[in-house]
Each structure stands twice: as structure tokens, then as C-alpha cells.
Amino acid sequence: MKAVDSPGLRVLYDLYHEQRTHGNLIEKLQQNIAMVGLIHVADVPGRHQPGTGELDYGNIYRTLAQLNYAGTIAMEFYPTGDVVTTLCDAREQVLRCFDPRSPMQ
């Protein structure tokens, strides 16, 4: 990525895979946010929606908001309940963390 040095090139940062292989998600986001253009969301273990595993997605989303992340956040998980309801709930969690008026801040 750095060697190519193109403004049109961005990294897909898959939080699920990164946590399983290396961890330290917040620190890596803080150090590399300028290179990230797409984030994939799934909790560890199980690859289900945020809140079903070990990752603190509220903290991750608040960090992204503080870093002024403006790229795409894609939900790439296996829902444990109704698909539409689960996706809507996951979307609302992201929006609350990016809203400066939210009590989650």
C-alpha cells in the first residue's frame, strides 16, 4: 500500500480476521486510518453480529468517529436472529457512536 502510494488505493480492514490473527485493533486503526477505505464487521468468535463475542464494537466505532473515519463500514456477519432486525440494530449502533449528541459518546 505504502509502496504504491496512490490516492485511489485503500485497505479493506476486516476486524474479524485481524482480531483472530493479530489483535490490537484500536492501535492499528489509530496508526493506519488514512489507508483504510472499507471496514468489515463481525464479532469473534462465531462471526456473528457485534455484541455476541469478545470485541467491544462500541469502543471500536467511537474510535473510528474520533479518527474522523469517512469510509464504508460493511456488516459481514452471520446473524443469530432475524436478518433484517439484526442488520438494523447493528447499523443503529454505528450511527449512535458517530453521533456527537449520543450518550454512548
pTM for this model (two decimals): 0.89
Q: 3-7, 64-68, 101-105 — which is least confidently predicted?
A: 101-105
Give the whole-angstrom CA distance, residue 27 versus residue 37: 17
Q: Which residue, among 99, 91, 17, has the nearest Cα to 62 in the 3D structure?
A: 99
Task: Return the domain boundaries, the chain.
Answer: 11-98
Q: What is the pLDDT of residues 22-76, one digit of tens each?
A: 999 999 999 999 999 999 999 999 999 999 999 999 999 999 999 999 999 999 9
Residues in CB range of 87: below 8 A, 6 or more apart: 75, 79
How many other CB atoms sit within 10 Å of the CB of residue 39?
A: 22
